[in-house]
């Protein structure tokens, strides 16, 4: 086993330990948030030790960091699920069937590239591609959530931040301006050298903080586009 695999194994073991601690617990949100933060700090302590020791590369560090983000979301989600509703054991994700797949060298190369980029297994990459292609995205806009979001961005705009993280791309920047779009159906969020439009038919979800961001958020929205893809997080921090 190489150092990259060892680092992943240590982080996975750490995540399982924190998930095991959750079963049967019924704690308040601030305590749950602290538990999640404790996991993230412990996990990054592990991978930073490997990285600083020259045992894993920049790319491998990114893979393990993404793994930490996934585990962080799992642990957070488990803490905010009532104890009686928390599943025991590994949840089923579907029916397994054996298939033989013939593809061109170019497509196999693309699949292998995604495996290297994400750190996922071949089956996970193929499942992700197929689910995105074959599963229709359905979302019923929530007018109440939309109105709350508009009040949030317009009232807090001097202290808003935009966050985006995917694979090795990381963006965290103050928002300069938030204003209604010309048609009045959305909000244009402008930051340094860029902007993002959020429309009333987009899905907006309140989360406790963006992944890979070690800070406490006072309010944080995860924003999805019409295809169901996350296009970023908009948040404020306490005291802003």
Query: pLDDT tens-digit profile of 148-165?
Result: 999 999 887 667 899 988
- The structure's pTM equals 0.53
Distance CA 1, CA 5 (A): 6
| pLDDT tens-place string over residues 66-90 | 788 778 777 766 655 544 444 554 5
Q: Please compute, for residue 166, the number of CA atoms within 13 A of its CA located in the half-sphere on the CB side.
A: 7
- Burial class of residue 202 (count of CB atoms within 10 Å of its CB; 0-12, 13-18, 19+): buried
* Mean pLDDT, residues 4-21: 85
User: Of residues 53 and 209, which shows the higher confidence score?
Assistant: 53
The whole-number pLDDT of residue 127 equals 83
Listed by start position, the domains of the chain span: 1-91, 93-135, 143-236
Q: Which CATH class is domain 93-135?
A: mainly alpha
């Amino acid at each position: 086993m190489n150092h990259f695999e060892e680092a992943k194994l240590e982080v996975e073991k750490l995540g399982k330990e924190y998930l095991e601690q959750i079963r049967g617990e019924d704690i308040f949100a601030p305590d749950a948030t602290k538990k999640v933060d404790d996991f993230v700090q412990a996990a990054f302590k592990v991978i930073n030790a490997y990285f600083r020791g020259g045992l894993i590369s920049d790319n491998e560090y990114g893979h393990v960091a993404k793994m930490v983000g996934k585990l962080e979301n799992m642990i957070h989600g488990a803490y905010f699920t009532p104890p009686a509703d928390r599943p025991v054991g590994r949840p089923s994700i579907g029916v397994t069937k054996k298939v033989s797949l013939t593809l061109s060298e170019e497509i196999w190369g693309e699949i292998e590239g995604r495996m290297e980029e994400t750190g996922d297994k071949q089956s996970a990459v193929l499942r992700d591609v197929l689910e995105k292609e074959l599963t229709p995205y359905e979302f019923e806009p929530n007018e109440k959530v939309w109105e709350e979001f508009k009040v949030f961005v317009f009232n807090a705009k001097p202290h808003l931040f935009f966050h985006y993280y995917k694979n090795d791309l990381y963006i965290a920047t103050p928002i300069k301006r938030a204003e209604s779009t010309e048609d009045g159906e959305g909000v244009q969020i402008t930051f340094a050298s860029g902007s993002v439009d959020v429309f009333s038919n987009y899905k907006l979800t309140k989360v406790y903080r963006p992944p890979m961001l070690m800070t406490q958020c006072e309010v944080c929205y995860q924003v999805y586009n019409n295809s169901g893809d996350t296009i970023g997080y908009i948040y404020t921090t306490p005291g802003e």
